[in-house]
A = this chain, B = another copy of it.
């Protein structure tokens, strides 16, 4: 067999022990919060039928879907038809040689799941899902072809309690992960609709929101210039300006907005929804998050129909670390109409980078083995086995380095693996029963019996 160079496809990553453990720490923290709020995990297959995915992500998205080749003699089966048609384009051949593709996100598989299992599901259905997705994007820093998404959604309930609880979930999960200063921005699609109605341009809502969204970057002048270039008039700008420059507390903003949107049913409905969410939040105990009404927030306008969210850390320069909102037609594409839902997601890769930069991973997130037993020879090894068994019997993660290696190498192993304690056993230790017990972080060591060591490691 020829030697093959060991490499991974571009845009994909191996996760070694420490990285996997840190990632698990993030996922487990978030999962425990999801569960606390009554969300349950589901998993869907890596492969979906190609027609389940095609057409859901726009033309550009379709190109980025990884397709799986049919098994066996895929080309012989396809070529008769292909040749007959005389059309040799990839686009025409694709459906002849591929029927399956890799999951592109967790939303479409979730919709497919809900429709397929609608008779087994209890609604409101509260699910979370943490699985990898694949996109044939050009890889670059921070962008991978395989990455995890972390979604939490409820379908079949229109209560705004759900929206309020998503804010609680963000607050609790990110606080638990150690973030101390982050903002959860909230807006409502209906308010944006109301504003577009106000200036008589409901069809230009996207142009309008895209421009407003840039306020931070290009300032009011820049926003106005862009709006004018898109066909908005000076009169439109006069109406928009107070909305764009809205400031003060959330309540002050809402009060001003009610005045501005007093003639828009949509707008007033959006304001009422936000007020309801805020009234729920008053009963909960938001620990850390700054919840901010932000009218410049505009995401997924083709998709979201009610409240929309976006989460940003204020401690590190970094794009949004979460977002989501209310949608009203998740499952329509699979024939199940009028099922309302809401959901948010966590950007776990970015959260990883934030925790790394702020040094927020707890030391325990890097530990796995608690104590390593080092021995000088075969006799010591034999002596050590029941001690090893004793440590494990009280749920202490413990290893014995098999005899035959120098002590230095064994200590190096403990260091490399971030093992915080070692026990060294030589002939003196065997005779006295007093083992050499070392704290690898402080460097301190003392003589102790196995029972004393067990007690000290169990606290």
Contacts and interface: CB of A to CB of B under 8 A. Distances in A.
Contacts of A8: 44-45, 47-49, 112, 116
A392 interface: yes
Given A20-B41, A122-B413, A385-B280, A76 B100 contact: no
Contacts of A63: 71-72
Main secondary structure of the interface of A (DSSP, over half): mixed
A43 B15 contact: yes
A222 B445 CA distance: 64
Contacts of A117: 14, 16
A90 interface: yes
A14 B41 CA distance: 11
Interface in A90-135: 90, 93-94, 97-100, 102, 112-113, 115-117, 120-122, 124, 126-127, 132, 134
A68 B97 CA distance: 11
A9 interface: yes
A17 interface: yes
Interface stretch (A31-39, A223-231, A232-240, A424-432): A31-39
A6 B112 contact: yes
Interface stretch (A156-164, A210-218, A313-321): A156-164
B6 A36 contact: no
A79 interface: yes
Contacts of A6: 52, 112-113, 115-116, 334-335
Given A16-B117, A40-B368, A283-B389, 10 more contacts: A5-B335, A8-B49, A8-B116, A14-B113, A15-B44, A46-B132, A47-B145, A67-B69, A75-B93, A126-B399
Nearest first, the 5 A-B pairs at minimum CB distance are A283-B385, A159-B402, A38-B399, A17-B40, A12-B45
